[in-house]
Structure 1
């Protein structure tokens, strides 16, 4: 993990983001979710934006039939078997970078970067949502009271981190 900015009240670091996307086919949702839940050994997030921590992974429901499994500790994202009659699994980690931000100034810095109300229930700790950062699609994951992660496209990681650092001053 590379520390990009570390003032005492704001810290930004970047790291690889092992993740896979799992999506169920239209009309198979109930069977797909039951199969995936059994394969992962845990209940799935029920609503878009909800997350479930399990083992070394964060399971994020990013769309009604789509989940992202983001590794939180391992060097590889889990790859559960997915019945091809019910859905598919696509590795996305090579194309993503995880920005981890901590500190009292995170809400203020983010308010200049993304359109997310830090105090809304939709952005509460344990929630995730897609937004854009400088016209680039990112996944915002609120991990604590003054902590969050942004999952960003690797091709934009350097310019986005430079922009965040500039805003953080």
Structure 2
């Protein structure tokens, strides 16, 4: 699959802005993105979850609001009846739908990594959820709103990964980078 044109490239010129000293926030677009959605019906939840886990190379599908890492990518439980298989190869071979529906969403989202000691504080400017370590620990996943736009947030080992709808990615990225400048922003 071709790696499409970045929706945020013009907003993420490498460099540093804000106060001198160590950057409190780092933002980077992660490309290429592989994103495959597994959707179940209520009566096929367990079977579809097992199929998603197998595709990810994980022992079991994660519960609601959680993520697990497998040998083929990370499996996020983004909604009660949906999982996303996230990878970084740019290739999205679709497994057999089996008991649910499988859809390639790779070109529909922009993936940003937001990290640094002030990343949670920055994201709390725009996301209505508690991002403290106790309330939103590593491998937590949330579907939430960012300026009235639905986004998905995952806390990974390096900070936070935000999946933005491609059509809103440029404007949301601009809000993030302008807000991050007060903390010292490094764009990778």
Aligned to 1:20: 36
Equivalent residue runs for 1:66-77 within 5 Å: 66-71=82-87, 73-77=88-92
Name which of 81, 94, 108 aligns with 1:79.
94
Name which of 96, 100, 118 aligns with 1:105.
118
- 8 Å CA contact retained: 1:56, 1:74: no
Unaligned stretches of 5+ residues in structure 1: none
* 1:162 corresponds to 2:174: yes
SS of residue in 1 equivalent to 2:43: coil
Name which of 148, 156, 159 aligns with 1:135.
148
Q: How far apart are 1:122 and its partner, in Å?
A: 4.7
* 1:9 corresponds to 2:24: yes
Q: How far apart are 1:117 and its partner, in Å?
A: 0.9
Unaligned stretches of 5+ residues in structure 2: 1-5, 18-22, 182-188
1:41–1:108 distance in 2 versus 1, CA, 3 Å: closer
- 8 Å CA contact retained: 1:140, 1:148: yes
TM-score of the superposition, structure 2-length normalised? 0.77
Aligned to 1:55: 71
SS of residue in 2 equivalent to 1:149: strand
Distance 2:70 2:171 in 1: 32
1:92–1:98 distance in 2 versus 1, CA, 3 Å: same
Q: How far apart are 1:62 and its partner, in Å?
A: 1.6
**Over aligned residue pairs, what C-alpha RMSD do you find?**
2.2
SS of residue in 1 equivalent to 2:50: helix
Deviates more, 1:116-125 or 1:152-161: 116-125
Distance 2:106 2:35 in 1: 5
Aligned to 2:186: none
Aligned to 1:96: 109
TM-score of the superposition, structure 1-length normalised? 0.85
Aligned to 2:129: 116
SS of residue in 1 equivalent to 2:177: helix
1:26–1:15 distance in 2 versus 1, CA, 3 Å: same
